[in-house]
């Protein structure tokens, strides 16, 4: 059985100067309709919150209010958020007719050239992990203006080899401010 996930809309506005790109949305993110919704992902609590901590970030009583304040925090700091692929088609783990080593069968790429044309102030793309960058590079996008491309350590919960997160945090700080 093959299951196609839905997509998350790009978060950003005409003032966005940095575009953060992940690979594709997780099942938890799709279910909650929120980027980096998996509690094991370190994006919000270990990267965005400490870097941009102010009174407008991470406030609210319920999950939807808190997520809305996170988005507001990104927009205030001129950050857009998307994925290289808008969807991921996965084989069901119980499906034995396909190679068990292959989880991702096919993906639909976001129209990143259109995004960059619509968001003309983007000066930097930060890739959340090498998989996002490799996925981007494999699409052979032709970017018509000078944009800095930076790959940082992944915030994925599956990528816990960075211990207490200091190396992860330092890598992201450097990307934001270089």
Place of tokens 């929120």: 34
Beta strands across the sheet bearing 79-83: 79-83, 18-22, 124-128, 148-152
Burial of 32 (0-12, 13-18, 19+ CB in 10 A): middle
Distance CA 48, CA 73 (A): 9
Q: Is 54 a catalytic residue?
A: no
State the catalytic residue, choosing from 38, 41, 128, 135: 41
Note the Cα 105 to chain centre separation in Å. Answer: 20
Active site residues: 41
């Amino acid at each position: 059985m093959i299951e196609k996930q839905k997509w998350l809309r790009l978060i950003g506005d005409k003032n966005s100067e940095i575009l953060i790109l992940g690979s594709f949305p997780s099942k938890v993110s799709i279910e909650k309709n929120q980027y980096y919704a998996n509690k094991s992902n370190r994006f919000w609590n270990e990267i965005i919150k400490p870097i941009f901590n102010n009174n407008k970030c991470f406030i609210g009583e319920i999950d939807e209010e808190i997520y809305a304040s996170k988005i507001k925090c990104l927009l205030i700091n001129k950050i857009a958020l998307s994925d290289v692929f808008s969807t991921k088609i996965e084989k069901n783990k119980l499906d034995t007719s396909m190679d068990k080593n292959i989880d991702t069968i096919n993906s639909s790429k976001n129209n990143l050239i259109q995004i960059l044309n619509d968001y003309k102030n983007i000066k930097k793309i930060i890739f959340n992990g090498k998989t996002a960058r490799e996925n981007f590079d494999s699409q052979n996008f032709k970017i018509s203006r000078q944009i800095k491309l930076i790959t940082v350590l992944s915030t994925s919960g599956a990528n816990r080899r960075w211990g207490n997160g200091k190396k992860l945090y330092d890598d992201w700080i450097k990307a934001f401010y270089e």
